[in-house]
Chains A and B, each alone.
Chain A
Amino acid sequence: MARARMTFLNEQEQTLIHEQSIKTLEKIGVQVQSRSVLELLEQKGAAVDYDAMIAKLPEKLVNASLETAPKEFSLCARDPKHDLKFPSYPYPYATTSGLAVKVTDLRTGEYRASTRKDAAEFAKLADALNPVDFLWTSLTATDVPAFAHGPHELWATMQNTSKHVQGVTVQSAEDARVQVELAALVAGGSDALRARPLMSVISCPIAPLSFERGAIEAQVEFARAGIPICSMSMSMGGITAPVTVAGTITNANTENLASIVITQAACPGSPHIYTSESAPMDMQTGAINYSAPEKTLIAIGLGEMANRYGIPCLVSDIGFGDETHPNVGPFSDLAIQIMGVASRTDILTGMGCVDSAKGICFGQLVVDAYIWECVREFMKEVHVTEERIGLDAVAEVGHAHHFLKSKHTRRFMRDEITQWDPSKVEMLSSDAKTVIAEANRIAEQLLKDHQVLAFDEDLIQQGDEIIRAYEGRLAA
């Protein structure tokens, strides 16, 4: 079966990148700002300098970790029909963006600090939209105690979707334990959660080559609970990674390998998703340049590296907002993202995001979902068989005639040729004002009509109690 994918690095180039990553891990090492995680790595064969907090990871350890990291697993959902099997096929799965600090108010249009209520409502909208396969915790609950915002966001999101939820923020091992407790409550216990992980997490190294204490101790905690980890390298070419495409790819690859070693050291066989949100810096301002063509090249290269290791990956985006209201986005973003979706990624993130991932907009989620529904057809499965090629039909039709009345045409036309939904195409092709009005109208309508798979009242109370108890412990 055929499926269109971009190719970029040849075998030799991939090998060089892998070897340079191994050399980095063996010679330069990674900084891990946690004594307990350093001890764990030392037990597994790393050479550790506790003063500098540097662990040098031998090739053997990296290879062993790549071996135990599962090649196939699922991100599960409250409603099993939304389970996500990896590797993805034929389309990558698309998820919402996160963890924004601002939201465009759906009713007033005001761009303001987000609340827990916004997080809940946005989750409901994502639940309603078919092309959104699962959810990140998308909005910061700025109205709850700051140290407990992660559990609040996870809990508000889980209650408002029956799809899988990926948490974007965690501050410490204890925070991780609280999040696991919440997910286990829904799954029906910790064994049930391990068997069907209803949540997964984003865990970021600090480029270049460093792991912050809170995040990495949380990662170990999650891995032990069987929660899949996305080790999101945010390598910024020119700032936190070498400026070159090859240098940025190698840095992100190295950080992912180190993170996989940590997950596997914590719990061999624990699922891990190779993840990157890397791009060059904007040469003028030093901000991340999410509109650079090189961002897509980096994504395609990293997708190839992950494929080479056989580890599922999240390396590319789908999300077009650059204003604070719904829009189809500038040409540059459209171009590079549409190229990027055809990388070998298993997951695309970014839906609903505006303002360089600082904001979330309800109408933007509608726009992004519609675009994705159209664009993903480029990646559909195409069967190349004698039957589909149709020589019988060719013989039957003969020279200089047409296939309009051929059985072959009737047999395959619906299945083979994409019909984009005309109303969606029309909306996306409208002028800016119409896009805003329509996208917001659709978002409001969906929020009014959609019913989320019911969530047990008792569970809600128990979960609220877990969070309250956590807040109490921290306040004390």
Chain B
Amino acid sequence: MAANDIYEEIMQCIADGDEDWARELAQKGLDEGVSPLDLIENGFTPALRAVGERWDTGSIFLPEMILSADAMKAAVRVLQPALQEAGGGAHDMKTCVVGTVKGDIHDIGKSIVGALVEASGLAVIDLGTNVETELFVNAVRERGSCVIGLSALLTTTMVEMKIVLDELAKAGLRNQVRVAVGGAPVTQAFADEIGADGYAEDGMSAMHLIQELAAGLDPAPGESMSKVA
């Protein structure tokens, strides 16, 4: 059957981390009349999950995992318009906004967390490093309900996390979001103190934490993916 063939190809292409091929396969699937939701749920998502498992057990390396996640992202972009047209499913894909707080240019930990969260099936918006507080607030305004992952590697910039939380509260957005924090000097105690919703020490636990926090978000259909498109 055509659909089965294409799922096998998707499996392979995500394992290879081949963006171009992923785009082609997404288009080919649509052309052959497979529903975009099926392509995601039975094709790309299980393929990426398989890659994640291999990474978890140490049989592939982080750069391979990240390439696979990027290939998936590329495919989803191709499927997006069709998904919206169909009006169903993936637009309640939960979003996670990540960024390193103002004054801090440590990039690596935040980017790894972003890649892993993306691989776990959330939509990720990476605001980069040295991110002005306002940009986090704006992202929530645009996206609506989401998880925010704040990273800080310096004792001087940890305080910025509290400021982001305060500003979200001031803007009346605090209860629409779940905020996770991390980075070398950050601790669970600090997270509690500033009223964040969670803390994780490394990439894997960060991914699980953010998945959990995302699961706790109110499903806000029509508020996430579709709104920005």
Within 8 A of B (CB), among A263-315: 281, 283-286
The reply to whether A171 and B156 form a contact with Cβ atoms under 8 Å apart is yes
A285 to B156, Cβ gap below 8 A?
no
CB distance from A355 to the nearest CB of B (A): 9
Given A146-B156, A149-B156, A206-B105 contact (CB < 8 Å): yes
For residue A327, CB closer than 8 A to chain B, the reply is no
Q: A101-B155, A140-B155, A149-B156 are in contact. Are A212 and B62 (CB under 8 A)?
A: no
Beta-carbon contact of B184 and A101 below 8 Å:
yes
- Nearest A-chain residue to B190, judged by Cβ: A113
Question: When the two chains form the complex, which single residue of A142, A283, A284, A285 contacts B155, counting CB atoms closer than 8 Å?
Answer: A142
The answer to whether A240 touches B108, judged by C-beta atoms less than 8 angstroms apart, is yes
Residue B112 at the A interface, CB < 8 A?
A: yes
Q: Which of B58, B108, B187 lies in contact with A286, CB distance below 8 A? A: B108
Q: Is A341 in contact with chain B by the CB < 8 A criterion?
A: no
A147 partner residues in chain B, CB cutoff 8 A = 156
Report A-chain residues with C-beta under 8 Å of the C-beta of B203: 285-286
Q: Which of B105, B109, B155, B187 contacts A146 (CB 8 A)?
A: B155
Q: Does B185 contact A (CB under 8 A)?
A: yes
Inter-subunit contact B108/A236 (CB<8 Å):
yes
Interface mask (A89-109 → B, CB under 8 Å = 1, otherwise 0): 000000000000110000000
The answer to whether B61 touches A283, judged by C-beta atoms less than 8 angstroms apart, is: yes
Does A238 touch B at the CB level, under 8 Å?
yes
B169 at interface, CB cutoff 8 A: no
A146 to B203, CA, bound (A): 27
- Chain A 118-162 interface mask (CB, 8 Å, partner B; 1/0): 000000000000000000000010100011010000000000000
The answer to whether B134 has its CB under 8 Å from any CB of chain A is no
User: Are A101 and B185 CB-contacts (below 8 A) given A146-B155, A149-B156, A206-B105?
Assistant: yes
- Chain B: minimal CB distance from A25 (Å): 22
Quick one: which of A102, A240, A286 has the most chain B CB within 10 A? A286
**A173 near B: Cβ within 8 Å?**
no
Chain A contact-residue range equals 20 to 34
| Residues in A232-265 with C-beta less than 8 Å from chain B | 236, 238-240
| Alpha-carbon distance between A171 and B55 when the two chains are bound, in angstroms | 38
Decide yes or no whether B82 CB sits under 8 A from chain A.
no
B50 within 8 A of A: no
Report the Cα distance A303→B195, complex, angstroms. Answer: 47
Interface flag for A358 (CB, 8 Å): yes
In this complex, which of A142, A236, A284, A285 has the most chain B Cβ atoms within 10 angstroms of its Cβ? A284
8 Å CB contact of B105 from A212, A284, A285? A212
B63 contacts the other chain (Cβ, under 8 Å)? yes
Are the C-beta atoms of B108 and A284 separated by less than 8 Å? no
Contact partner of B202 among A171, A206, A281, A285, CB < 8 A?
A: A285
B171 at the interface (CB under 8 A from A): no
Closest B residue to A150 using CB positions: B156
- Mark contacts of A211-243 with chain B using CB atoms, 8 A cut-off: 1 yes-contact digit, 0 otherwise: 010000000000000000000000010111000
Q: Is the CB of B159 closer than 8 A to any CB of chain A?
A: yes
| Contact indicator A283/B62 (Cβ below 8 Å) | yes
Binary interface encoding of chain B residues 172-192 relative to chain A, with 1 for a CB under 8 A from any of its CBs, else 0? 000000000000110100000
Residue among B58, B62, B159 with max Cβ neighbours from chain A (10 Å): B62
**Distance in angstroms between the alpha carbons of A171 and B157 in the assembled complex:** 11
Contacts of B185 in A (CB 8 A): 101-102, 113, 140, 358
B156 touches A284 (CB 8 A): no
Contact B108 A239 (CB under 8 A): yes
Q: Check A284/B159 contact, CB under 8 A, given A101-B184, A238-B63, A358-B184.
A: no
Which residues of B lie under 8 Å from residue A283 when comparing CB positions? Answer: 61-63
Residues of A near B58 (CB, < 8 A) are 284
Q: Which residue of A lies closest to B159 (CB)?
A: A146
Q: What 1/0 mask marks residues of chain A from 47 to 61 whose CB sits below 8 Å from any chain B CB?
A: 000000000000000
Within 8 Å CB of A286, what residues of B? 62, 108-109, 112, 203
Min Cβ gap A216→B in Å is: 12
Question: Which residues in A have their C-beta under 8 angstroms from that of B63?
Answer: 238, 283
Q: How far apart are A148's CB and chain B's nearest CB, in angstroms?
A: 9
- Chain B residues within an 8 Å CB radius of A281: 62
B134 CB to closest chain A CB (Å) equals: 20
Are A284 and B184 in touch, CB under 8 angstroms?
no
A344 to B155, CA, bound (A): 34
- How far is it, in angstroms, between the C-alpha of A284 and the C-alpha of B159 when the chains are bound? 30
In the bound complex, how far is the Cα of B73 from the Cα of A209, in angstroms? 28
Min Cβ gap B172→A in Å is: 28
How long is the Cα–Cα vector from A92 to B164 in the complex, in angstroms?
Answer: 46
**Chain B residues whose CB sits within 8 angstroms of the CB of A236 once the complex forms:** 108
Instruction: Write the nearest CB–CB distance from B210 to chain A, whole angstroms.
Output: 16
**B109 CB to nearest A CB, Å:** 8
Q: Kindly provide the distance from the CB of A294 to the nearest chain B CB, expressed in whole angstroms.
A: 15
Seed contacts A281-B62, A285-B62, A286-B62; 8 additional CB < 8 Å A-B pairs: A101-B184, A113-B185, A146-B159, A149-B156, A284-B62, A285-B112, A286-B108, A358-B185
What are 16 inter-chain pairs, A to B, with CB distance below 8 A? A101-B184, A101-B185, A113-B155, A113-B185, A140-B155, A140-B185, A142-B155, A146-B156, A149-B155, A149-B156, A236-B108, A283-B61, A285-B203, A286-B62, A286-B108, A286-B203
A: which residues have CB within 8 A of B?
A: 101-102, 113, 140, 142, 146-147, 149, 171, 206, 212, 236, 238-240, 281, 283-286, 358
7 smallest beta-carbon distances between A and B, as pairs: A101-B185, A146-B156, A283-B61, A286-B112, A140-B155, A286-B62, A142-B155
B residues sitting closer than 8 Å to A (CB atoms) are 55, 58, 61-63, 105, 108-109, 112, 155-157, 159, 184-185, 187, 202-203
